Structure 1
Amino acid sequence: MSKLFITIILLSIFFLPKLLFSQNINLRDNYFSNCLYNVNPSAAGYDGGFISSLSISKKWVNIQDAPSVQVFSNSLRFGSTDFYDDEYFISRPIFDFAPRVGVGLTLYNETSGPIKETGFLFAYAYHIPLNRNKLSFGLSGSYSQTSINSVLLQPNNEYDPELYTNTKDYFPSIQFGSMYYSRDLLVSLSLRRNLISNSYYQTITFTNVNLFSLYNLYESSRYSIESSIMLDYTYNYQTTIDCNLRLHYFNKHWLLISLRDFQAFGMGIGLSFNSRIQFQYQFKTSNSSFNKHFVSSHSVGLSLNVERIIQNR
């Protein structure tokens, strides 16, 4: 089956749900700036070696107290990878006592006006070799605290007791995922569910399903082109479709074109230095009736291949 035919099938499947209600994906799930295990725990260690990423995102930069997100991700593989070249940004790890095990640890903070959410995520993945391909399974748990700064609300009735009580909520969740990947193809599926909620107003439960696919359309000694599609569905709440096309240069630098929810357009760039440091920048804008009144979103990221930094000291 040709690459073109596979690509047409994938695009046809994922463009059909065009009429589904959708909203933007949370910025901490930005898998081009953060490690992929934040979306699917089975991707922990998929990058190979020890990769640390820091990203800072800002939406509606012309609006005071607009949403902002800071994410610090760390992906570690306790063994060697099989099919990645040494010249790639991905490298062989210095740890080699559990080649099939990968872990991830993320700390994140999100602020939207008076609302602040802080939390962490830990992921574990087990990678099974299948000839030249791999199949992985992963499990992750996250815990976040959401709080409201009543001082910033500026209410008409400053003596309202509801403004100063029950201003914090705690949201633990668990996620299971699986992923099949090779050098040219990656397909992953994950299921996330929150455990409890002590919300003062109601108990909130949800089930989230995420499907992600990446395919290498073209590859030469200098260039490669990959397409990726993500479908993120939350039961009785929202569906998000994210389509991307990325051009790699010497497997180090890349340019990105992205379409989100059939109404938000984005572009991005990634620059690698000495295969140890990579800088990313992404820009998104929307043509929806709501977001057109605001300046677009911006995100900057920095990824460190800690493995290579240690080896080259």
Structure 2
Amino acid sequence: MRSLTYSNYKFSVVAAFVLGLVTSSVTSVRAQLNPLASQYFQNQYLFNPAMAGLNKGLNINLAYSKQAFGVDGAANVQSASADYQMDKVGLGVNLYNQYSGVFRTTRAMVTYAYHLPLGGDNQKLNFGLSAGISNNHLNIGDVYGDQSDQTLANYNNKGTSVDGDFGVAYTSNKLTVQGALPNLRSLFKDNGSTVDREVFFTAVSYQFFDPANVSLEPKVAYRQVKGYTNILDAGANVAFSNNQFCLQGIYHSSKSATFGAGFNMAAYSVLAFYTANTSALNGYNNGDFEISLKINLSKK
């Protein structure tokens, strides 16, 4: 009887771990289906290392996202990046951290970019390469049950792995065409993550009208997520009075939509976003919320 009780307890611990793993995967998949909204217009360096150092001065970006709001243990994401322009060279640092229940994903990258001038209208051909480390970790201290269970320890034994991103872009005062290969390690070897990562990204945008008054920048992006249906994003950024106030809207083919609004001053900008649920999750939570801050230390 005692042996049976212990076996049942052991099974409960393993079952709880597997359930937590599945729950983490669902909320982590949401992070891939609905990435940080600030990376579409405010901080494109998050999507593409070729965009590091594209703008003059030292640019610092901070973002926080709470996903599946109202669901206990749902993912929350913190991002911090800094990039600096040195003539034709861009240097950057990109930090990403995601908590999802008892699971944590951390990524730290350094970036080198080169911006080759092509002619008038500020035309450039941009290349960027990021290299760094990524780690998927289980917080055993937050697990309810037998924390000495080997199943839990085995998950953390995978340790930290080397990773990287590569990107290219053509940019001008009006047109931007770009493509990126994020998470390069996953192209050659499974890194043991519970998350099916993005493996390809491309986007095209064009700015209309006079930025001094009203400007409209529509954008179409295509994202390939390993193990999931490819995603098409289509939206626009509308800015008023030299971009002092902006409105953003993006529809995702995953059947969700992102809406944002914010203001831009000479040296900083603040935006807030709301992403509606994917159709499969309607009625279960209140969507995703994000706030982002950008600071340019070259402006006064």
Same-fold call, TM > 0.5?
Answer: yes
- Equivalent in 139, 158, 162 of residue 151 of structure 2: 162
Match of 2:108?
120
1:256 aligns with 2:255: no
Match of 1:92?
none
Q: Go from structure 1 to structure 2 and tell me whether the alpha carbon gap of 1:168 and 1:238 turns closer, same or farther (over 3 Å shift).
A: farther
Match of 1:135?
125
TM-score by length of 1: 0.76
Deviates more, 1:228-237 or 1:109-118: 228-237
1:219 aligns with 2:210: yes
Q: 1:262 and 1:218 mapped to 2: Cα distance?
A: 31
State the aligned residue count: 264
Q: Go from structure 1 to structure 2 and tell me whether the alpha carbon gap of 1:28 and 1:141 turns closer, same or farther (over 3 Å shift).
A: farther
SS in 2 for 1:289: helix
Alpha carbons 2:38, 2:292 under 8 Å: kept = no
Q: 1:38 and 1:278 mapped to 2: Cα distance?
A: 16
Query: Structure 2 counterpart of 1:111, which letter?
Result: Y
- Identity level (%): 23
Q: Which runs of 5+ in 1 are unaligned?
A: 1-21, 79-98
1:304 aligns with 2:295: yes
SS in 1 for 2:72: coil
1:268 aligns with 2:257: no
Q: 1:33 and 1:153 mapped to 2: Cα distance?
A: 39
- Equivalent in 43, 67, 73 of residue 35 of structure 1: 43
Deviates more, 1:255-264 or 1:229-238: 229-238
1:52-82 CA-partner distances (Å, limit 9, x unpaired): 011110012211221001111111111xxxx
Match of 1:75?
83
- Larger helix percent: 2
Match of 1:86?
none
Q: Which runs of 5+ in 2 are unaligned?
A: 1-28
Match of 2:274?
283
1:166-216 CA-partner distances (Å, limit 9, x unpaired): 325423222222110111100001223216556499xx9988111011111
Match of 2:178?
188
Alpha carbons 2:217, 2:236 under 8 Å: kept = yes
**TM-superposed deviation, 1:290:** 2.1
Alpha carbons 2:243, 2:264 under 8 Å: kept = no
Q: 1:284 and 1:207 mapped to 2: Cα distance?
A: 19
**TM-superposed deviation, 1:228:** 0.9
| Structure 1 outlier segments of 4+, above 6 Å | 204-207
